[in-house]
Amino acid sequence: MFSELGLIEPLLRALASEGYTAPTPIQVRAIPPLLRGRDLLGVAQTGTGKTAAFALPILQRLAEARRRPGPRAALVLVLTPTRELAIQIGDSFAAYGRHLGLKRAVVYGGVGQNPQVAALAGGSDVLVATPGRLLDLIHQRHVRLDGVQTFVLDEADRMLDMGFIRDVRAIIAELPVRRQTLLFSATMPAAVAGLAESILRDFERVEVTPSATTVERVEQRVLFVERGDKRMLLTELLKDRAVGRAIVFTRTKHGANRVAEHLEKRGVSVGAIHGNKSQSARQQALAGFRAGRVRTLVATDIAARGIDIEGITHIINFDLPNEPESYVHRIGRTARAGADGVALSMCDADEVVHLRAIEKTIRQAVPVDDAHPYHAAAIARLYSAPSAQRGPSAGPRRSPRAGGSGNGKVARHSRPGHGRRPAA
Ligand code: AMP
């Protein structure tokens, strides 16, 4: 419940009219520390509800402090890499803050600056901006940042990718040293971690699993297979030239070891990371994988937590996790930084129940690939059979998350030719 997060009534009313009934995980974890004025490092991407996670506490603190911005000044600055995001964030502040009567300004390049200059002149409670235009306006003295109390750096990784780091640093230099700072990034490459270290103080770190939006970008398939055939199937799958960089997930450390040994014997270059390996052995495996010397990494969920490697083309679930969240976390690793990837999941008879839980969580059916040499028709039938737990409403819905991504994308469905069970 939003009311349990300590939000004031005008915000709760606005959320109700937005149709939000419950906070998302990042909202649950970020809103309380932000209301207390803490700094925050948010590892999260669009679609997780991160905008509301920072906009709500910011609006509340503004409403409670009742300070007025001076001419051309701003109390809150949100920096974001693109014009589309700036507009979206501005709209979110407008929607959530509709009962608070605060002043907003949104500035971005590619359009005439006069209306923006006019909007800034009287001062803004919240200023949302892209870096280049903001810096222009600062140099022309149309805006000043020395009164900023809260600074949000949104999509820091994209900011760096787009070459905005110098502009961002120049803008940060204009801010007061004493301020609340929030940094959001979908990924944590070293450059972003370094930036975070340099601008955050005593910060809270909140990391959330990739959203349904990410899941929709990943091409998913499930392969029904007898447990005893899994290793042979894995060898087959890795022969595919399309597999550039793959992570193979197993449920246990022991399983990871056995899979890695099996692959090694068949001449596949493979590294393994799991809790039983020494730190240096893990580092070595990771370094080899990052550098491209090792194409396949075998990992358990725990060992893979926090590792961030670009360019993963395939996630192979040798075992299906019994926690649906782990599935989302695993496959999200192949859809980093806008790239699309493939997630192949092996499913034996005992794992059908996990598959159903996953489909319920991601709200889509995972297309079945029955064209592989170890296809187990009996397990496919087990999966298609109606089960006691699956009432008509319990089946996976074939629509994207309701009220979810906001980007109008639809879920990817199975391709023709790949058997999928009839709709539940
Ligand atoms: P964001 O990750 O901030 O881009 O938000 C993604 C989408 O989720 C936006 O369309 C928001 O309007 C929506 N949203 C954010 N929080 C919630 C919530 N608690 N309940 C329902 N929808 C939400």
Q: Which pLDDT does position 402 carry in this prediction?
A: 31
52 Cα–ligand 1 center, Å: 7
Lowest mean pLDDT among 11-15, 128-132, 230-234, 395-399: 395-399
Q: How far is the CA of 173 from the centre of ligand 1 (A)?
A: 32
Going from the Cα of 51 to the center of ligand 1, the distance in angstroms, rounded, reads 7
* Per-residue 3-state assignment (H helix, E strand, C coil) for 269-320: CEEEECCCCCHHHHHHHHHHHHHCCCCEEEEEHHHHCCCCCCCCCEEEECCC
Mean pLDDT score, 38-62: 92
Q: How is the chain split among helix, strand and coil, in percent rounded to 5? A: 40, 15, 40
Cβ of residue 210 lying under 6 Å from some atom of ligand 1:
no
Distances (CA, A) of 365 to 213, 341, 358, 388, 424: 15, 17, 9, 18, 10
Q: Which two tokens stand for residue 377?
A: 């028709």
Residue 363 inside a domain? The answer is yes
Distance 46 CA to ligand 1 centre (A): 9
Final residue of a structural domain among 142, 173, 207 = 207
Tokens 């299906």 found at: 320
| pLDDT of 84 | 81
**186 and 220 share one domain:** no
Selected residue with higher pLDDT from 422 and 175: 175
Pocket of ligand 1, candidates 4, 12, 18: which has the most ligand atoms within 8 Å of its Cβ, to mutate?
A: 18
220, 75: one domain: no
Examine the domain organization and report whether 230 and 194 are in the same domain.
no
pLDDT-derived band at 244 (thresholds 50, 70, 90) equals: confident
| Residue 99 confidence (pLDDT) | 97
| Alpha helical stretches, state H, 9-103 | 9-18, 25-35, 50-65, 83-96
pLDDT in tens, 351-379: 999 999 999 888 789 999 999 999 999 99
Give the chain's mean pLDDT. Answer: 86
| DSSP tag of 39 | -
pLDDT band at 32 (very low <50, low <70, confident <90, very high): very high
CATH number for position 366: 3.40.50.300
Q: What are phi and psi of 150, to 5 degrees?
A: -130, 130
Per-residue pLDDT for 399 more than 50? no
State whether residue 75 is helix, strand or coil: strand
Percentage of residues of the chain with pLDDT beyond 70:
85
Q: Which band of pLDDT confidence, cut at 50, 70 and 90, is reported for residue 338? A: low
Nearest Cα residue to atom 11 of ligand 1 = 49
When pLDDT is averaged across residues 80-108 and rounded to a whole number, the result is: 94
Report the pLDDT value the prediction gives residue 403, as an integer from 0 to 100. Answer: 32
Bigger pLDDT: 293 vs 334: 293
- What Cα–Cα distance (Å) separates residue 80 from each residue in 169, 179, 184, 399, 403? 13, 18, 10, 30, 23
Ligand 1 atom 1: the closest Cα is on which residue?
Answer: 49
> 135 lies in which domain range?
2-207
How far apart CA 363 and CA 365 sit, in angstroms, is 7
Q: What is the mean pLDDT of residues 127-131?
A: 97
Instruction: Among 170, 186, 207, give the residue marking a domain's end.
Output: 207
Q: How confident is the model at residue 183 (pLDDT cuts 50, 70, 90)?
A: very high
Tokens encoding 83: 């014009």
DSSP readout, 348-393? -GGGHHHHHHHHHHHTSPPPB---STT--HHHHHHHHS--TT--TT
189 and 228 assigned to the same domain: no
In a shared domain, residues 139 and 79: yes
Confidence of residue 414 (pLDDT cuts 50, 70, 90): very low
- Are 384 and 292 in the same domain? yes
Helices (H), 140-207: 156-161, 165-172, 190-199
Decide if 90 contacts 76 (C-beta within 8 A).
Answer: no
92 in a structural domain:
yes
Q: How many CB atoms lie within 10 A of CB 176?
A: 11
- The answer to whether 142 and 134 are in contact (CB under 8 A) is no
Q: Please indicate, yes or no, if residue 418 is contained in any of the structural domains.
A: no
Structure token pair of residue 222: 């499930």
User: Ligand 1 atom closest to Cα of 51?
Assistant: 3
Q: Is 244 in the pocket of ligand 1 (CB under 6 A)?
A: no
Confidence (pLDDT) at 400: 33
Query: Of 207, 226, 248, which residue sits at a domain end?
Result: 207
Q: Which of 1, 17, 20, 155 to mutate to test the pocket of ligand 1 (most atoms within 8 A of CB)?
A: 20
Ligand 1 lined by 23 (C-beta under 6 Å): yes
Does a structural domain hold residue 330? yes
Say what the pLDDT of residue 393 is.
41
348 shares a domain with 378:
yes
Ligand 1, residue 213: give the atom nearest the CA.
Answer: 6
Tell me the average pLDDT across 234-258. 92
Q: Residue 27: which residues within 8 A CB-CB, separation 6 or more?
A: 2, 5, 49, 52, 53, 56
Contact 119, 143 (CB under 8 A): no
CA–CA separation, 424 vs 407, rounded Å? 27
| pLDDT of 407 over the 70 cut | no
CB distance 24 to ligand 1 below 6 Å: yes
Does 214 contact ligand 1 (Cβ within 6 A)?
no
pLDDT for res 408: 30
What are the tens digits of pLDDT across the range 190-227?
A: 889 999 999 999 999 998 865 555 677 889 999 999 99
In a domain, 422, yes or no: no
pLDDT in the model for residue 394: 40
Same domain, 232 and 381: yes
What CA dihedral angle connects 157, 76, 141 and 104, to 10 degrees? 110
pLDDT value of position 360 = 86
Residue 401 has pLDDT above 70, yes or no: no
Is residue 410 domain-resident? Answer: no
Do residues 153 and 240 share a domain? no
Q: Residue 95 above 80 pLDDT?
A: yes
Residue 48 Cβ contacting ligand 1 at under 6 Å? yes
Instruction: Pick the atom of ligand 1 nearest to 23's CA.
Output: 19
Distance (angstroms) between ligand 1 centre and the Cα of 50 equals 7
The band of 103, judged by pLDDT with boundaries at 50, 70 and 90, is very high
Higher pLDDT: 28 or 420? It is 28
Report, as an integer, the average pLDDT of 289-310: 78
pLDDT tier for residue 330 given thresholds of 50, 70 and 90: confident
What mean pLDDT is predicted for residues 224-253?
A: 93
**Do 283 and 371 fall within a single domain?**
yes
Regarding whether 224 and 153 lie in a shared domain, the answer is no
Q: What is the pLDDT of residue 333?
A: 78
Measure Cα distances from 335 to 314, 330, 341, 357 in Å: 10, 10, 6, 22
Please tell me the distance between residue 20's alpha carbon and the centre of ligand 1 in angstroms. 8
Domain count, the chain: 2
Is residue 165 scored above 60 in pLDDT? yes
Are 306 and 177 contained in the same domain?
Answer: no
**Residue 397 pLDDT grade (very low, low, confident, very high; cuts 50, 70, 90):** very low
In a domain, 394, yes or no: no
Looking at the domain assignment, is residue 24 inside a domain? yes
Query: For ligand 1, atom 20, which residue shows the shortest CA distance?
Result: 20
